[in-house]
Amino acid sequence: MFRGIIHLLKYDKRFLFGFIVIIVFIFLSILSFFSPYDLKIWHVVTRDLPPSFKYPLGTSSLGQDVFWKMTGAVRNSLIIAIIAASLSRAIAILVGLIAGYKGEIIDRILMSINDSFVVLPLLPLFLLILSVLGGSVDIVTIGIILGLFAWAWDARLIRSQILSLKERGFTYTAIESGMSPFKLVIREHLPFAVPLVMATIINNMIWAIGIEVVMAVFGLLDLETPTLGTMIHWSVHYQAMLLGVWWWILTPVIVCILLFLGLYMLFISMSQFLDPRTRLEIIKSRE
């Protein structure tokens, strides 16, 4: 896998761009732990100051340093995305492997449940859940909620791949040698699903961050906790553009665009690289 990353960094500019963007945001997330301010406290600096050497991204109408607020927002939004993506991948792998290998009645039951999650209108459902929970939803809880509803599409993809692998010769050989179904699925089938999981986890992170921004703009999250969504919420609430405090609202918007673009580039690059036919064409073109 490490060799694959080196290959992509060397030959794929999209992957290089996305990789650099994510490294920068990870650095900013780590930097947030060294903030000289408590990122939840208001009126710690002079309000509505434009960008300067002392305040690189200016200050907000809440009396907060926008740069340091942004570092905390990036950290928390990435935490939400990682929790949601990790939990949803775990469920997708479990459902996909069991449904694909067992088949018959178990497959039909699991796929019926899976299809129910596929057709659920998730945005209204999230609005309902978070409205019931109120504004006390922290970043861990929102990550778990998103993860519990984000696995269905990828579970079906994994199931399809396992159904194909089940008919391969090495599967029959493993069964004839006395290997248990659990070991067979984990040792022989799961490695084939890992590349698919690695590609879809990035797409799932984009989705989770987008949902978090929407929920925060509606005011359904803990608005004291800095995230990209809560930054946009407060800047819109205080009419930052109308009052000329453009740096306050543009910072989270531009960060969101760069984060989405960087993750999308990684997703597209990795998806093509993991496709054997595309990889073969790339290798032939460089010979």
- Structural domains present in the chain: 2-285 (1.10.3720.10)
Match 């340091």 to its residue by tokens.
Answer: 68
CA–CA distance, 259 with 127 (Å, rounded to integer): 24
Contact (Cβ atoms closer than 8 angstroms) between residue 205 and residue 43 = no
CA–CA distance, 217 with 232 (Å, rounded to integer): 7
Per-residue model confidence as pLDDT tens digits over 50-68: 999 999 999 999 999 999 9
User: Distances in Å between the alpha carbon of 40 and those of 68, 124, 222?
Assistant: 11, 29, 11
Specify the higher pLDDT residue, 194 or 213: 213
Specify the higher pLDDT residue, 93 or 287: 93
Q: Which SS3 state, helix, strand or coil, does residue 227 take?
A: coil
Per-residue model confidence as pLDDT tens digits over 128-173: 887 787 666 788 888 999 999 988 888 888 888 888 877 777 777 7
Per-residue model confidence as pLDDT tens digits over 226-249: 999 999 999 999 999 888 999 999
Average pLDDT on 274-287 reads 54
Classify residue 224 as exposed, middle or buried by CB count within 10 Å of its CB (0-12, 13-18, 19+).
Answer: exposed
